[in-house]
Amino acid sequence: MSNEILSSATKSKVLSEALPYIRRFHGKTVVVKYGGNAMTDVELQKSFAHDVVLLKLVGINPIVVHGGGPQIDEALKRIGKQGTFVQGMRITDAETMEVVEWVLGGQVQQDIVMMINEHGGKAVGLTGKDGGLIRARKMKLADQNDPNTFHDIGFVGEIASIDPSIVKALQDDAFIPVISPIGYGEDGMAYNINADLVAGKIAEVLKAEKLVMMTNTPGVLDKEGKLLTGLTAKRIDELFADGTISGGMLPKIAGALEAAKSGVNSVHIVDGRVPHCLLLELLTDQGVGTMIRSH
């Protein structure tokens, strides 16, 4: 019996704790970069879809931007194509770009849309081509040893500009936009763009209240491996300088910092391996990651 009372008390505490957050974020936009284990583990997929729908139902406007590196690798393997990389960047020729488009803009995007819809939401899939959402330009990759030499890595793009009008129209109409990170160039060609960059830029352009980046780590860790729950721009610069933030975390944090400096109220790097991490981070005092603010 005591367990029952305890769980009821815990539940009521959590619900009452959520109320001020729901009030504060009502009508605000939250951009979620969805990736890592949360995209591949079935239980985590369900908890993600549930969280996104719940946020929408309490009056918060979620926008989902997704990655799909492992799914692209899998599809290339199936057609017998070996990935080639320069300085960690995939060389994306025309055939590879075709695969990227049907994996990201087709299979992965539609799986996420269906999942959200099955949990009671109204999701709509978009690529950067839809409504002129993401204008891209070809990325020039400077050689790490000779900055005057550039590598041609094919159809990999940078963001030239974002026109968020289609996203705003869908949001106003109770839909949840699910965006694949594919842009289009002035040459009429499609370009694959890093999903972290797309999420950051969309959050920036829409003046989002929050940008949430789901990762396979607990958040930003110090040199002893302890979680840093709150960071400012100044502190991040120090962590870059002393090598605490390095490797795969660098581009993620750089994108997060850029968004925080450009008007996004706070950026959260959360552990996507924790069920319901979105609700825990946004609607409770506890949180499950690192929050970054500009100052």
Residue 47: count other Cβ atoms within 10 Å of its Cβ.
20
Tokens 């795969």: give the residue: 248
Residue 10 confidence (pLDDT) above 80: no
Structure tokens at 215: 């990762």
Q: Is 2 within a domain?
A: no
Question: Does the annotation flag 248 for ligand binding?
Answer: no
What pLDDT, on the 0 to 100 scale, is given for residue 47? 94
Burial class from Cβ neighbours inside 10 Å (0-12, 13-18, 19+) for residue 233 reads: middle
Q: Is 12 within a domain?
A: no
Question: Does the annotation flag 90 for ligand binding?
Answer: yes
Question: Does the annotation flag 200 for ligand binding?
Answer: no
What pLDDT, on the 0 to 100 scale, is given for residue 1? 39
CA atoms within 13 A on the CB side of 96: 20
What pLDDT, on the 0 to 100 scale, is given for residue 6? 53
Please tell me the total count of domains within the chain.
1
Mean pLDDT value of segment 24-47: 92
Tell how strand 289-293 and strand 266-271 pair up: antiparallel
What pLDDT, on the 0 to 100 scale, is given for residue 240? 84
| Highest mean pLDDT of the ranges 140-149, 243-252, 271-280 | 271-280
Mean pLDDT value of segment 199-210: 95
Torsion of CA 203, 198, 48, 55, to 10 degrees: 20
Which band of pLDDT confidence, cut at 50, 70 and 90, is reported for residue 106?
A: very high
Q: Is 15 within a domain?
A: no
Average pLDDT, the chain: 89
Range of the domain at 200: 20-293
Of 173-182, 190-199, 218-227, 274-283, the poorest mean pLDDT is in: 218-227
What pLDDT, on the 0 to 100 scale, is given for residue 272? 92
Which band of pLDDT confidence, cut at 50, 70 and 90, is reported for residue 82?
A: confident
Q: Is 225 within a domain?
A: yes
CA distance 295 to 293: 6
% pLDDT > 70, the chain: 97
Q: Is 31 within a domain?
A: yes
Residue 2 confidence (pLDDT) above 60: no
Mean pLDDT value of segment 171-178: 92
Q: Is 210 within a domain?
A: yes
Mean pLDDT value of segment 32-46: 90
Mean pLDDT value of segment 31-50: 92
The answer to whether the predicted template modeling score (pTM) of the entire model surpasses 0.75 is yes
Tell how strand 123-127 and strand 89-90 pair up: unpaired
Q: Is 181 within a domain?
A: yes
Provide the greatest CA pair distance for the chain.
72
- Domain harbouring 65, CATH code: 3.40.1160.10
Structure tokens at 123: 């999701």
Render pLDDT for 113-138 as a digit per residue (tens, 0 to 9): 999 999 999 999 999 999 999 999 99
Q: Is 242 within a domain?
A: yes
Question: Does the annotation flag 68 for ligand binding?
Answer: yes
